[in-house]
Amino acid sequence: MTETVALFAALFVATHLLLSHPLRAPLVARLGAKGFLAAYSAVSFAAFIPMVLARKAAGGEAWLWVPPGWSWLLAAVLMWLASILLVGSFVRNPAMATLQSHDAVIGRPVGVFRWTRHPMMWSFAFWAVSHLVVHPEASAMAIAAAILILALAGSAAQDAKKRAQLGDRWREWEASTSFLPFAHGIAFPGWLALLGGTALFLFATWAHPLPVGIWSLL
């Protein structure tokens, strides 16, 4: 069953990267923006749902190692940061705007973009690493590894795409931001990201099947 999960995880990553980057422009030209979005969603669900179902069918598996005590604290910190990054990624994110012109003005980084220019992708990466550290079941690790690869490869591909679209404007953005989180230092992420991310973290860890985060101490 682990092989099936890994297969669907690899398919999910491959289709997402292909449709998001090299195949996006020709498919939009052929199908139109709405048609492409419909096709993209259908393909994503066609790979994601079987992956989740295969993981569920795998059930409980033997753990490959016993996570040390410190790993749970590391995972909790990573998930808290991931939550802040995810919430903050929706505030003045130039990658989400429909910027196509080389004359577009992006502005200076604010909030979590002073941590990294790819806050959403790194939120997924931190989620993946936290689960790799404390959930060493083979099929679960296959999904986490797939999400980690997708986040990192997707970030690099997004830079290349935006560089082609925006030219020097995106190069200026790259120069004023960092790919790796905190490479330019630690900055205040903004109250919305901090408070909203903390609330998301508390809710997600409370709803988690296992007692994690601060809930494991209660």
In this structure, are 71 and 55 located in the same domain?
no
In the predicted structure, residue 116 carries a pLDDT above the cut 90 = yes
pLDDT digits (tens, 9 = 90+) for 134-180: 999 999 999 999 999 999 999 999 999 889 888 888 999 999 999 99
In this structure, are 175 and 88 located in the same domain?
yes
pTM score: 0.89
The two three-digit tokens of residue 169, written as one number: 């404007």
- Quickly state the pLDDT bin for 102 (edges 50, 70, 90): low
In the predicted structure, residue 100 carries a pLDDT above the cut 70 = no
Mean pLDDT throughout 17-31?
Answer: 84
Mean pLDDT of the chain: 89
Q: At what angle do helices 138-166 and 119-134 cross, to 10 degrees?
A: 160
In this structure, are 74 and 8 located in the same domain?
no
Number of domains in the chain: 2
In this structure, are 156 and 204 located in the same domain?
yes
In this structure, are 92 and 40 located in the same domain?
no
Domain span at residue 49? 1-59
Cα–Cα distance for residue pair 39/214, rounded to 1 Å: 41
